[in-house]
Structure formats: structure tokens, C-alpha cells
Structure 1
Amino acid sequence: MPRPYVLLSVATSIDGHIDDTSTERLLLSNSEDFDRVDQVRAESDAILIGAGTMRADNPRLLVNSEERRAARVAAGKPAYPLKVTVSGSGDLDRGLKFWHHGGDKVAYTTDDGYEKLSERLRGLADVVSLGPTVDFGAMLDDLGRRGIERLMVEGGGQIHTAFLSQGLADEIHLAIAPLVVGDGDAPRFLHPAEYPGGSTRRMRLAEATTVGDVVLLRYLPKQESQA
């Protein structure tokens, strides 16, 4: 089966941060952009976040619009996309909201994390080992076998870095908020890594638009800039 189309979705500050270092989550998007993200979720077959994002934000990760859920059902799809996470250690709490809302869930882990996570998530999620280490290509192969054609990846930075540096991302939705974090310890969209083509390769910009006071840039990282 073909691998799913992978879309990375992220909101950052002007200086590239996805959060600050306070105990409260930094809201980078505005109401219009949150609604846009909800639409992208509704158009996806699966949504993925990493274990770090789950622990930090404890999101439910749902399609919030009742109309969009109804449209999915009318099209023969489940009301909610498949919810996906990945944890190399398998150290994920059973009480996180992710497991108790929405539809089906799958958790990818390693051989070392499999036994622990399978026990913790019994009855809540399908747990799959990717081998000795987290193999993102193998994960996409498994999602393809599950019929997933479009995967939305919502972070965090380690997950986005893995997909982009390994050449596995087909599209990036980069929403830039009109604020500056200014804290070197705050988490960023991407971590240091070797990216395909290096620093001289220019990705194709497919779209640039404003969503309220946020600028949305849509990049196609597998395609070269036409400039």
C-alpha cells in the first residue's frame, strides 16, 4: 500500500518558537486560524502528535465542528480521524485526554517500549512496535496498510524535525503569529539536523495568505522553488 501524504502543521512566533517557557500554553493562532486547522483535521484520515506534546499540552486532538464531523460521516468516513502518537520509551499515561475522546487511536513505540505501553493502553489503543528504534518510514508503511491516505502532523519539534529531515514531509502549513518570544530556551518548530539539500535548497512556496493577523505559508518541501 502507498504511504500517506504527510502534511506538517505548525504555528510559530516571528522568531520561530512554538511555545514559551511559562507553565501556560502560548496561544499563537487566532480564532480564524484555529478554525482553519479544524478544517484541515477534518480533511485528514489521521492526525499525529508526539509524546512530548501529549505530556506538555494534554490535548484531546479532535475535529471540533459538528458540521465537519457530520460531513465526514456522510462521506462514509468515521466522525473523527485516526489519532496517532509515537513514543520511543512507551512512557505515556493512560489518563491523558488523547485516549478518552474521539475515535480510534494507535500508538507507535519501540521493542523496548512495547510491553509497557501495551499494558498501560489495554482497551484504549492499538500499540505497534516499530523495531529497535522509532522508524518513521515503517510507521508510514503501517498507516498506509490501514488505509490512511492523508496524515496531518501537529508536532512537536522533534516529530516535525524527523519527518522533514528524513524527506518524509509532502507539505508544510506554517502559520506565523505577530509576536516575538525572545527566549533561547523556548521550543522551536525545527531542531538542528541534516535536511535534504542543505541550506541552499529552496522549497516551493505554494501559497501565502493572511488569516486574521496570522500569515499562513504553504510549502511543498519535495519540490524545488521555481524562482
Structure 2
Amino acid sequence: MHRPHTILSCAVSLDGRIDDTGPERLRLSNDADFAEIDELRATCDAILVGAGTLRADDPRLLVRSPALRERRRAQGRTEHLLKAVVTRTGDVDPAARLFSTGDAGAVVYSSRAGAETARRRLADLPSPHPPAEAVDAGDPPTATAILADLAERGVRRLLVEGGGHIHTLFLTSGLVDELRVAVAPFFVGQQDAPRFVLPGSYPHDPAAPMCLLEARALGDVAVLRYRLGEEDPE
């Protein structure tokens, strides 16, 4: 299947949590790691999150560095990435910052009924705004359908940034090429804190482990990069 080179990136605590249960977003990384993630974003064509991340964090999903945005312009690309959201229900907030920022537009992937709901919700976007549309990606949405649609849009490199349901969807699909994990030097220790991944059938189990490409320190944060596919990451 022709599909984008897919990179999954996440920051976790030592006990595998991607946030705590408090009202504010837990900082699991440091400035050096944030800068590397910005550089990684700048090399990609699209960035994808789940509706849970959209509701909890209201992210903008932008390339932050002016120099990186200028580099993208010099390459004939948009300053920012195409933004993708996956939702079962299609109940997205048109006031979310993801839809009002950037210059490459957004796509909402949902079921057929969810896509209809999302289209009605996106009709309430304030004007002017970047283009946004909704796509039927199966019931429930599948990574295969999402990647096929992104490929048709010219996306060659996709960055997946969570949350746990989305990590699980893509990692169990076997369609992730590279995994980048930043590990914070502490435990969250809360039973109800969101996890990096959920239970599922993963292709990379003890009998078929991933290939560790890199392990290094960024201050107190450990950065691990794994190859999941057969080819080396670009």
C-alpha cells in the first residue's frame, strides 16, 4: 500500500503515563526535546491527533520556530502542517485552536455518521479560517483508510502525536515506521492517568521486537528511537 512514512512521537513518564489527572497539561519533557520535536514537525507534511487530545489540550499543532517556517517556505511548502483529527463521533469543537491556526488546513477522520456530524460542526467555523473537511474513514476509523486518504492528499511524511487511543490504533495496525519516545525522569503513579498505549494485539511483541536506532540523553530526559518497519527511517 502506498502510504506516508509514519512517525509516532510521544513523551511518557517512567510508568508509561502521558499525563496526570490534574486540570493542567503535565510537562513530561524539556526545552531541548521540544526544540527537536519542532524540527521533526518541520520535516513532515501532516500531523495527527485524536479527539481526546483535541478536547483535553486544545493544541495548535504548529511549527513554532520562525527559522523552520522560513525553511519550509523556501522549499515551496506551507509554513505549517496539514492537521488531522480522528474521532468516532465527529463531535469536534469548531472553536478549537487547531481549526483557526496554520495555513495548511485540517481533516477530520470519522465514521460515515461521524463525518456528517463533523461537517455540520465545521460549518460553524468563523470566517476567514483555514480550510477544514470531514472524511469517512470507516466505522470505527482505521489507520489504513486514514493513511490512504493522506497519501492522496500528497502527504509523504506523517507525524502522529497521540493520545493513547491513537497510539494504540496505529501501533496495532503495523503501519508505523518509526517510534520516538521521550522518557521523563519521574513516575506519575496515578491509576487513572492516561497511558501511552492500551491493551491490544501489537505486531512488535517479545517474539518480534522493534529495532533500537538510538538512545541518548537530553538533560534528564531519555530519548529512544525505534525502527518498526523493514527500511531505515528517512
TM-score of the two chains, using structure 1 as the length reference: 0.95
- The match for 1:105 is 106
Q: Which amino acid aligns with 2:98?
A: F
User: Equivalences for 1:29-40 in 2 at 5 Å?
Assistant: 29-40=29-40
User: Equivalences for 1:60-75 in 2 at 5 Å?
Assistant: 60-75=60-75
CA–CA separation in structure 1 for the residues paired with 2:96 and 2:212: 37
SS at match of 2:229: strand
User: Equivalences for 1:21-170 in 2 at 5 Å?
Assistant: 21-103=21-103, 104-122=105-123, 124-170=131-177
Q: Which amino acid aligns with 2:120?
A: E
Check whether the contact 1:109–1:127 (CA below 8 A) recurs between aligned residues.
yes
Q: Deviations over 1:62-97 (max 9, x none)?
A: 000011000001011111111111111001111111
CA–CA separation in structure 2 for the residues paired with 1:141 and 1:132: 16
Q: Structure 1 197/96 Cα, relative in aligned 2: closer, same or farther at 3 Å?
A: closer
Name segments (4+ residues, structure 1) moved above 2 Å: 197-201
What are the ranges of 5 or more consecutive residues in structure 1 without an aligned counterpart?
A: none
CA–CA separation in structure 2 for the residues paired with 1:29 and 1:210: 12
- The match for 2:200 is 193
Check whether the contact 1:14–1:179 (CA below 8 A) recurs between aligned residues.
yes
CA drift at 1:143: 0.5
Are residue 17 (structure 1) and residue 17 (structure 2) matched?
yes
Q: Which amino acid aligns with 1:41?
A: R
- The match for 2:191 is 184
Check whether the contact 2:91–2:121 (CA below 8 A) recurs between aligned residues.
no
Check whether the contact 2:116–2:134 (CA below 8 A) recurs between aligned residues.
no
CA drift at 1:197: 4.8
Check whether the contact 2:84–2:107 (CA below 8 A) recurs between aligned residues.
yes
- The match for 2:128 is none
Compare 2-11 and 103-112 and name the one that shifted more: 103-112
Q: Structure 1 10/197 Cα, relative in aligned 2: closer, same or farther at 3 Å?
A: closer
CA drift at 1:119: 1.4
CA–CA separation in structure 1 for the residues paired with 2:57 and 2:170: 21
Sequence identity (%) = 48
CA drift at 1:183: 1.1
Check whether the contact 2:47–2:160 (CA below 8 A) recurs between aligned residues.
yes
Check whether the contact 1:91–1:113 (CA below 8 A) recurs between aligned residues.
yes
Q: Which amino acid aligns with 2:208?
A: R
CA drift at 1:51: 0.3
CA–CA separation in structure 1 for the residues paired with 2:25 and 2:56: 8
CA–CA separation in structure 1 for the residues paired with 2:90 and 2:202: 27
Check whether the contact 2:179–2:226 (CA below 8 A) recurs between aligned residues.
yes
TM-score of the two chains, using structure 2 as the length reference: 0.92
CA–CA separation in structure 1 for the residues paired with 2:107 and 2:157: 15
CA–CA separation in structure 2 for the residues paired with 1:139 and 1:43: 20
Compare 205-214 and 123-132 and name the one that shifted more: 123-132
